[in-house]
Structure 1
Amino acid sequence: MEPECDVAEPERRERAEPLSSVERAIVQDTWARVYESCEDVGVAVLVRFFVNFPSAKQYFSQFRDMDDPEEMERSSQLRKHACRVMNAINTVVENLHDLEKVSSVLELVGKAHAVKHKVEPMYFKILSSVILEVLSEDLGDCFTDEVQMAWTKLMALLYWHITGAYQEEEIDRLRAGDRSVSPLIGRVAMVMCELWHAGCAYVGVRRREPPRLHGETAVWALRKKKKKKKKKRRRRRRRRTREGEEKGDEEGEEEQDEEEEGEEEDEEEQEKKKMMKKKRKKKRRRRGRRREGEEKDEKVDEEEEKVGGEEEEDDEEEEEKKKMMKKKKRKK
């Protein structure tokens, strides 16, 4: 059994009326025309929103001091935010057949604006009316009564899902404890706790935990602890990055030295190869010269043999002639 809680929870809201298949088709067809120039339409929506309701600029530090509409139109940060708004609407329009996905996307948007940015929910109602005005101007004659009814239903659906996150956040805050105090008192309590710890450390008393905090004070204390942890992590990351950069510089110098040594070795190897090539060429030349000399000697020997053979033949012919002459003389 859960313990009884004296906190009165907010009343349940009436659920937004869902869109029919015809209305979904109308919204998707008209949105396709608008989304062709989504950035310009989104900028027009935000500029009109901030000009007509300047109190909404308190949640945007980037263009909080901008009053001129032309200056707002030129702002790159405003254009980025306009693109985010138009892309969120685009995801909703594309997934109108899947209500679970639509509700999950819009719940994330609502929680971000409720918890992180602390935006009042009435501004979503105002923004939806501004979007309808800009759509009617952009579509012109195509913005008929049927189109207006479909888009009004869609804006009501968006508002219902987004503000649901605000109701959940309020219930969680009320259930956290009825002893919650204002943020100013919570900060004073935290300062007193820190002074108490410092006094104990100075006197030499063993450090004890201060009394527990409740409600907004506890939330503020947790946020402060988280900030301290984030700062420590950032310092560690910076140290690691510095050490990594120093190591990287040393490694880079070592790599450069190794590359230079490798280049020197490559140059020496190339010089050795060149010397070996030169030696091989010299050997080939010597061998060629020797072969040429041997061939010349062989030719000379062949010529001498030919000449010797011819002389022997001449001698034989002369001897035969002499023999023939002797025979003739004998016959006579």
Structure 2
Amino acid sequence: MVHWTAEEKAAITSVWQKVNVEHDGHDALGRLLIVYPWTQRYFSNFGNLSNSAAVAGNAKVQAHGKKVLSAVGNAISHIDSVKSSLQQLSKIHATELFVDPENFKRFGGVLVIVLGAKLGTAFTPKVQAAWEKFIAVLVDGLSQGYN
């Protein structure tokens, strides 16, 4: 079990209140698909992802980005039991979608970049540290179905 300080919880939830799951989810998933183009193989039914403009304008990327960030929000709402809250989602990614769990780390890194860009100087090193810790817990929770 992870120990969260009150300061860490406050940093995570205060940032999350500023997140627009539709816009920021699209940005984060789009960045993942552009920066790590091999991740596109999991989204073969999304149509044209051949370049940055195609990814940015893709409605399926936008919808799935929103879905992913909604799941992140759910994990935040269960911050004291992230791993158990992600059990079913992890199982689906492991046994049905066959997603390489390294991609959870990649997405987490991209999400931190998106949040930092969005918040600017408000995304202090302490806030980033809390988010990096949360992302590590999130990745661990999403990876549990692979064991």
What TM-score bracket applies, with the shorter chain setting the length? Answer: over 0.9
What is the Cα deviation at residue 45 of structure 1?
A: 0.6
Residues 205-224 of structure 1: matches in 2 within 5 Å?
none
2:46 to 63, 86, 89: 63
Which residue in the other structure is 1:26 paired with? 11
Q: Deviations over 1:132-178 (max 9, x none)?
A: 111100111100011011000000001111111101xxxxxxxxxxx
**1:40 has 2:23 as partner:** yes
C-alpha distance in 2, partners of 1:141/1:58? 35
C-alpha distance in 2, partners of 1:77/1:65? 10
- Contact map agreement 1:45 1:130 (CA 8 A) in 2: yes
Q: Deviations over 1:253-298 (max 9, x none)?
A: xxxxxxxxxxxxxxxxxxxxxxxxxxxxxxxxxxxxxxxxxxxxxx
- Contact map agreement 2:112 2:131 (CA 8 A) in 1: yes
**1:156 has 2:122 as partner:** no
C-alpha distance in 2, partners of 1:144/1:103? 26
Which residue in the other structure is 1:145 paired with? 125
- Contact map agreement 1:110 1:165 (CA 8 A) in 2: yes
**Structure 1 segments of 4 or more deviating over 6 A?**
none
C-alpha distance in 1, partners of 2:56/2:24? 11
Taking structure 2 as the reference length, the TM-score comes to 0.92
Taking structure 1 as the reference length, the TM-score comes to 0.42
- Greater Cα radius of gyration, structure 1 or 2: 1
What is the Cα deviation at residue 66 of structure 1?
A: 1.4
What root-mean-square deviation, in Å, do the aligned CA atoms of Structure 1 and Structure 2 show? 1.5
**1:126 has 2:106 as partner:** yes
Greater relative CO (CA pairs within 8 A, separation 6+): 2
- Contact map agreement 1:19 1:154 (CA 8 A) in 2: no
- Contact map agreement 1:63 1:72 (CA 8 A) in 2: no
Q: Which runs of 5+ in 2 are unaligned?
A: none
C-alpha distance in 1, partners of 2:104/2:47? 18
- Contact map agreement 1:39 1:82 (CA 8 A) in 2: yes
Amino acid corresponding to residue 135 of structure 1 in structure 2: L
2:77 to 94, 105, 126: 94
C-alpha distance in 1, partners of 2:83/2:101? 17
Which residue in the other structure is 1:106 paired with? 86
